[in-house]
């Protein structure tokens, strides 16, 4: 187990944050569309409309989990190396 290069990790974190920003915008847009359509349609026929579309909430949760796992692993490996060496 070797600590990863901090510049690579920083670059990956920036990409994760850009992805989170995009997903949050998509989620917000999706919620606004859902609310306006729910007000217009009261029949409940929207069950098939969202099939195959991007699920921003799920992708956001996955991205958040990946960020935390990567950073936690990096911190633990760095701590182990500091303690050993």
Helices (H) and strands (E) in the chain, counts: 2, 0
Q: For residue 1, is it within any domain?
A: no
pLDDT at 42 > cutoff 70: no
Q: Residue 6: its pLDDT value, please? A: 79
Q: For residue 43, is it within any domain?
A: yes
Enclosing domain of residue 21: 6-84
Neighbouring C-beta atoms of residue 17, cutoff 10 Å: 12
Residue 72: strand, helix, or coil:
helix
Q: For residue 31, is it within any domain?
A: yes
| pTM, entire model | 0.58
Q: For residue 29, is it within any domain?
A: yes
Question: Which tokens belong to 40?
Answer: 């217009």
In the chain, the number of structural domains is 1
């Amino acid at each position: 187990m070797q600590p990863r290069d901090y510049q690579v990790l920083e670059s990956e974190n920036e990409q994760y944050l850009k992805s989170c920003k995009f997903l949050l915008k998509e989620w917000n847009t999706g919620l606004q569309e859902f609310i306006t359509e729910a007000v217009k349609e009261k029949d409940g026929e929207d069950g098939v409309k969202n099939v195959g579309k991007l699920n921003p909430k799920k992708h956001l949760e996955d991205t958040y989990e990946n960020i935390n796992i990567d950073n936690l692993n990096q911190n633990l490996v760095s701590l182990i190396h500091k303690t050993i060496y």
